[in-house]
């Protein structure tokens, strides 16, 4: 039995999100290519999450909102989702204003408690 490593690409953990770096300003003509790149990242290695590094997009505007909405829809159609990294401080507020919710890197998911947080039980509380 041989313990030698196989030739080829290194093993990639499907739980490790790929990163799509977005630099701006992004034109409407560039959006389809970015959606294709996102689709390819989700298909490669069975990933379900792609981190979109939005730090290079600059001050957010409606073009940024449109881009992120299209990327989120592309991810959803491919069976995945996107998470935002390094957003301009005004971006989450703008996305909230237009009714779009995105997970930000470093935030706990809604269905998962933050690490290190435990639910306290008061004396006299009924067990769960």
pLDDT above 80 for 38: yes
In 3D space, the residue among 33, 115, 38 whose CA is nearest the CA of residue 84 turns out to be 38
Q: What pLDDT score was predicted for residue 124?
A: 65
Q: How far apart are CA 53 and CA 51, in angstroms?
A: 6
- Phi and psi angles of residue 55, each rounded to the nearest 5 degrees, phi first: -60, -25
List, for residues 45-104, the tens digit of each pLDDT value: 788 999 999 999 999 999 999 999 999 999 999 999 999 999 999 999 999 999 999 999
Q: What is the pTM of this model?
A: 0.72
Highest-confidence range of 2-6, 65-69, 110-114, by mean pLDDT? 65-69
Q: In the predicted model, what is the mean pLDDT of the chain?
A: 82
Q: What pLDDT score was predicted for residue 121?
A: 52
Asked if 105 contacts 74 with a C-beta cutoff of 8 angstroms, the reply is no
Domain 18-102 grouped into CATH 3.40.50.1100:
no
């Amino acid at each position: 039995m041989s313990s030698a490593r196989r030739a080829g690409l290194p093993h990639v953990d499907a739980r490790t999100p790929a990163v799509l770096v977005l630099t701006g300003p992004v034109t409407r003509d560039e959006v389809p290519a970015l959606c294709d790149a996102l689709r390819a990242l989700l298909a490669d290695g069975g990933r379900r999450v792609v981190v979109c590094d939005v730090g290079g997009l600059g001050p957010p505007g409606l073009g940024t909102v449109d881009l992120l909405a299209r990327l989120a829809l592309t991810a959803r159609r491919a069976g995945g989702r996107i998470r935002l990294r390094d957003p301009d401080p005004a971006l989450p507020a703008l996305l909230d204003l237009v009714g779009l919710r995105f997970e930000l890197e470093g935030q706990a998911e809604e269905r998962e408690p933050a690490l290190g947080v435990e639910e306290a039980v008061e004396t006299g509380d009924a067990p769960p």
